[in-house]
Structure 1
Amino acid sequence: MGRCTVSLLGGFEVRVDGNPVPPDAWRSRRAADLVKLLALEPGHELHREVVMDLLWPELGTEAAGANLRKAVHYARRAMQAEEAIRTNGGMLSLWAAKVEVDARRFLDAADLALAAGDPESCGLTADMYTGELVPADRYEGWAAEPRARLRDRYVAVLKGARRWERVLDLDQTDEESHRALMQGYYESGRRREAIRQFERLRDALREFMGVGPDLTTIELYERILGLEGDEPATPAERAAVLLATGLVHLNRGELDEAERLARLAKAMAIDAGLGHELGDAATLLALVSYGTGRWNEAFREEFTASLTEQADVGLAIWDANSCFAEYYVSGTEGPASWAGYARDLLNLAVKAGSVPGRSAAQLMLGEALLSSGDFQGALSELHEALELGTSAGALCLRCLALERLAEVELALGDPDRARDMLEQARPAAEASALRSHLLVRLLGVGLQVPAEPLAALDAVTKAERQLAEASRVCDPCSINFHLQAGSVCARAADLPRARRHLAAAERVAGLWPGDPWAAATWETRATLRLAEGETSQAVAFFREAATGFASAQRPVAETRCRAAAAAIVSRS
C-alpha cells in the first residue's frame, strides 16, 4: 500500500499517495469520523467498543455494531482500499502502511520543544498548528477532549516562544501573558503601556471569569504606578489597586479587609465621578455581604444610599447586585418574604423620587408574584418596571423585566407574546455590560416557546451555537438554560445531549441556595428517565420535584409535577 496523509488541523482531508480523497466520496459522516478517531490515536488503532461508545453512545451494542460495520465499509470505499480500515479481533486500525497525521506530528514536536525549553523551537512548532481540530465537528462530543488537548499544547508552545500577544488573542484572561507584557513594559520604562496592559487584564478577568488579578500581578502594578512619569497615578488607577487587592482578600476569606478596601474604592469613585469603578466597588461589597449572609441588609443600605445619588450611580449599584438579587429570591425565605422586602424598597424609592430605584423594586416585586403564581399581579408590576427602566436608560432592568414578562406570558398560554418579549429584550442584553448573564437567561426562556419537540430541539441547537460563540457565560445564570435544554432534548429523544445538559445543570445547581433550582433539577431528571423508559423512576423524581417546589412555595410548578407523576401512573 502507498502512503496515507490525514490533515485534521483547520479542516479534514485525506490523501492517498498524494491524491486527495474528494469530499463527496465520504458518503457517510460516521465513516469520516472513524478515520479521524483512528488518526488521532498514537498507534492509529482503537478497540471497536471504544469507537462505538464515542460515535453512538445512545445505542445498544447490537445497533452500534451495525453502524460501525457500515462506517468501516464506507471508509474503505472512500479511500479505495480494503486495507484502509483493518480489523483484527476487537481492534480497528487505520491503513496498513505508513500514516502521517498533522495533529500527531504537532503533538510530538511540541513535546520535544517544551522539553528542550528553547524559544526558537517552540516558535517553529507553533507554526505547525494551522487551526483548531476539525472545526466542522466543533459540537461533536468525541472531538472535545482531543481539541482541548491540542489547543492547550499550542498555548504552551506559544508561551515557550514568548508570543504573549498571540496567547491573548486566544485567551484574553491568560494572566501569565498579561503579566509578562507588563513586566517587559516596566523594565523598558514604558509606564503608560504597562498600565493599559493591566487594565486589559482586569477588564477581561472581570467580564469573562468574574475574578480579579492575583497578588503577584497587583504588586507589579503598584511598582509600575511608582515609576517616574509625566503624571502621577490617577484616581481610577489607585481605585483599581484597591479593588484588585480587595478581591484577593475576598478569595482568601478575609472579608473584613475586602470590605474595607471596597469602601475606600467606592468613596474614591464617587468623589472622582468614576462610574466603572463604582460598579466594581459595589460588586465587591455585594460579594462580601453575600459571603457573610447579610446581603439583604447590605443591599438595603446600598439601595437607600443610591436613591439620592445621580441616576448612573444607582444603576451601577443595581447592576452590581442583580445576580445576588436572584440568589435571594431563590433562597429559603420564599416569595412572600421577597415581596415584602421589595415593597419596602419600593416605598423608599417612591419617597425619594428615584425612577431607577422604582424600576428595580418593582422588578423584584414582579418576580416574587410570578414565583407565587400571581400572574396578573406580576404582569402589572413587571410592565411598570419595564416602562420605568426604559425611561431611565437601564438596559439590565429593561432586559430582566422583558424576560420575566415572557415567562408570565408562557404561563398564561401565549407563546407568541412571550416570543415578542424575548425579541425586544435581545438588543438590551447585547448592549448591556451584563450580557454574559442576560443572554443565557433569555435563551433559556426561549426554549420554552416552541410547542413541537423538533422545533424546540432546533432552538436548542441554535442556542448552543450562540453560547459557544459568546466570550463568557455566567455559570449560575445558565441553570435554567441547561434544565430547559435537557428537557427539550429528552422529549425529542436526543438522549446523549439531554444527559450533557442535565449534568451541566446538576453542577450549577450546587451554586444556588434554597429549594427551587434543586426541585427544577429533579423535574428534568424525571423527564429524562421517562424518555429512557424508566417510568417508575420518572414518577419518583416528579414527586421529589413537587415536594421541593412545595417547600419553595412554588404552587404552579408543584401542581405541574404532581400532574406529570399522576399521568404516568394512570397510563401504566
Structure 2
Amino acid sequence: MNTSKAFSSSRLVIKLLGEFTVFIDGQKLSNTAIKGRKARKLLKILAHQRKYQIVREHAIDILWPELKVKAASTQLYKAIYHIRQAFRKHNKGAEDWIKISENFLRIAPPGGLVTDLNLFQKFARTGLKDKKKTELESAASIYGGEFLPMERYAGWASFPREHFRQLYLDVLTYLAEVYEEQEEFSEAAEMLRYALDKEPTLEAAHQGLMRIFAKKGQSTRAFHQYNICKEILQEELGLALSPQTNKTLDDVQEGKFC
C-alpha cells in the first residue's frame, strides 16, 4: 500500500498522531473550523474507534459525565451539528458523513475514512509479523508523534497513547534489527536512537547500539553505551542491568562482533 496514495485518494482523512488534523477532499480544515472543544473531542474519539463508531451513551459518559441524560443528549446533538457544519463548508454532502442512530454514532463518508493511526497499525502489524523492511519503514514514517498530545490529561486517550507508543518502539527496534542484518549500520543506529529518545530505559536499544558500534570497530563507543545504559537504569528505575546487556558487553570484550 502506498501511504501518500492512501491519504490523497480518500475524501476524508484524519490524523491523530502528533497534530490533530482533518482533510476533506484534500483540503485541510483550520484549527477553528469545528466550533466547540467538545465537538472536536467527539470527532477525535470517533476517529480512533474500531469501525469509526461508538455507542451513544459511551460518548456521552466520556464528554458530559456531569450532565443528566436529556441535557447531555442536547450537547451531543450540538457537537454533531458543529462537526457537520465544518464538513459542509468543504463539501456540501459531507454533513451526512456523521451518522447518528438510536444506539450508535459513526463516521461513514463515501469510500471510507483514512486515518494515520489505522495505516500505522496495519503496516506495523504486517512488518512485525513477517519482519518486512518496507512495511516497518512505512509504519515508522507514518508515526508523526504521540497519539493526540493535546489530550494528554484525558483519561480516554491515555491507554491508546501508551499502546501506540509501545508499538512504535517495537517497530523501531525490529527495523533496526533488519538494518543490522543487512549491514546497514548507520540506519540501524538511527532507529535505535529514535527509540531511546522515546524510551531511554529500553535495554534492547542500548544492546543494539553496543553491537553496531562493535561491528563498526568502535569498541570504545560500545563500552560507553553500556555505561550510559547502566546509569540510566539505576537513576530512572533503581534497577541493575539485565543479564543480556551484561552478556552483550562480554561479547564486545571478546571481539565476537568484529
**TM-score calculated relative to the size of structure 1:** 0.37
Deviations 1:170-194 (A, max 9, x none): 1110001111222233445432111
Q: Paired residues, what number?
A: 226
- 1:5/1:16 contact within 8 Å kept: yes
- 2:99 maps to 86
1:557-572, aligned counterparts within 5 Å? none
- 1:6 maps to 14
- 2:206/2:229 contact within 8 Å kept: yes
User: How far apart, CA to CA, are the structure 2 residues paired with 1:114 and 1:58?
Assistant: 42
**Greater percentage in helix:** 1
User: How far apart, CA to CA, are the structure 1 residues paired with 2:159 and 2:216?
Assistant: 41
Question: Which of the residues 54, 72, 75 maps onto 1:46?
Answer: 54
Against the structure 1 CA distance between its residues 124 and 14, is the aligned structure 2 distance closer, same or farther, given a 3 Å change threshold? Answer: closer
Would you say 1:160 and 2:168 are equivalent positions? Answer: no
- 2:181 maps to none
Deviation at 1:104, TM superposition (A): 1.1
- 1:55/1:142 contact within 8 Å kept: no
User: How far apart, CA to CA, are the structure 1 residues paired with 2:208 and 2:31?
Assistant: 44
Deviation at 1:199, TM superposition (A): 0.8
User: How far apart, CA to CA, are the structure 2 residues paired with 1:83 and 1:206?
Assistant: 55
Question: Which of the residues 134, 144, 153 maps onto 2:158?
Answer: 144
- 2:208 maps to 180
Deviation at 1:224, TM superposition (A): 3.5
Deviations 1:205-252 (A, max 9, x none): 11221212112212332444456xxxxxxxxxxxxxxxxxxxxxxxxx
Question: Which of the residues 109, 125, 128 maps onto 2:139?
Answer: 125
Higher relative contact order structure (alpha carbons within 8 Å, sequence separation ≥ 6): 2
Against the structure 1 CA distance between its residues 72 and 205, is the aligned structure 2 distance closer, same or farther, given a 3 Å change threshold? Answer: same
Question: Which of the residues 26, 29, 34 maps onto 2:37?
Answer: 29
Against the structure 1 CA distance between its residues 185 and 101, is the aligned structure 2 distance closer, same or farther, given a 3 Å change threshold? Answer: same
Against the structure 1 CA distance between its residues 37 and 176, is the aligned structure 2 distance closer, same or farther, given a 3 Å change threshold? Answer: same
Against the structure 1 CA distance between its residues 141 and 113, is the aligned structure 2 distance closer, same or farther, given a 3 Å change threshold? Answer: same
- 1:15/1:21 contact within 8 Å kept: yes
Larger radius of gyration: 1
Against the structure 1 CA distance between its residues 171 and 71, is the aligned structure 2 distance closer, same or farther, given a 3 Å change threshold? Answer: same
% identical aligned pairs: 30
User: How far apart, CA to CA, are the structure 2 residues paired with 1:112 and 1:222?
Assistant: 34
User: How far apart, CA to CA, are the structure 1 residues paired with 2:119 and 2:135?
Assistant: 14
User: How far apart, CA to CA, are the structure 1 residues paired with 2:165 and 2:119?
Assistant: 14
User: How far apart, CA to CA, are the structure 2 residues paired with 1:209 and 1:63?
Assistant: 47
Structure 2: which 5+ residue stretches go unaligned?
Answer: 1-9, 89-93, 177-190
1:192-211, aligned counterparts within 5 Å? 192-211=220-239
User: How far apart, CA to CA, are the structure 2 residues paired with 1:146 and 1:93?
Assistant: 19
**TM-score calculated relative to the size of structure 2:** 0.80
Deviation at 1:99, TM superposition (A): 1.3
3-state SS in 1 of match to 2:51: coil
3-state SS in 1 of match to 2:106: strand
Question: Which of the residues 198, 215, 228 maps onto 1:170?
Answer: 198
Task: Look up the equivalent residue of 2:109 and give its one-letter code.
Answer: A
**Greater percentage in strand:** 2
Deviation at 1:114, TM superposition (A): 1.3
1:223-302, aligned counterparts within 5 Å? 223-225=251-253
Deviations 1:242-279 (A, max 9, x none): xxxxxxxxxxxxxxxxxxxxxxxxxxxxxxxxxxxxxx
Deviation at 1:58, TM superposition (A): 4.1
Deviation at 1:197, TM superposition (A): 0.6
User: How far apart, CA to CA, are the structure 2 residues paired with 1:68 and 1:207?
Assistant: 47
- 1:120/1:161 contact within 8 Å kept: no
- 2:196/2:202 contact within 8 Å kept: yes
- 1:243 maps to none
Answer with 213-222 or 197-206: which moved more: 213-222
Deviations 1:459-480 (A, max 9, x none): xxxxxxxxxxxxxxxxxxxxxx
User: How far apart, CA to CA, are the structure 1 residues paired with 2:215 and 2:45?
Assistant: 47
- 1:134 maps to 148
3-state SS in 1 of match to 2:231: helix
Q: What do you get for the CA RMSD once the two structures are aligned?
A: 2.1
Structure 1: which 5+ residue stretches go unaligned?
Answer: 228-572
User: How far apart, CA to CA, are the structure 2 residues paired with 1:127 and 1:95?
Assistant: 27
Would you say 1:190 and 2:218 are equivalent positions? Answer: yes
Deviation at 1:168, TM superposition (A): 0.8
Task: Look up the equivalent residue of 2:83 and give its one-letter code.
Answer: A
- 1:4/1:95 contact within 8 Å kept: no
Task: Look up the equivalent residue of 1:199 and give its one-letter code.
Answer: N
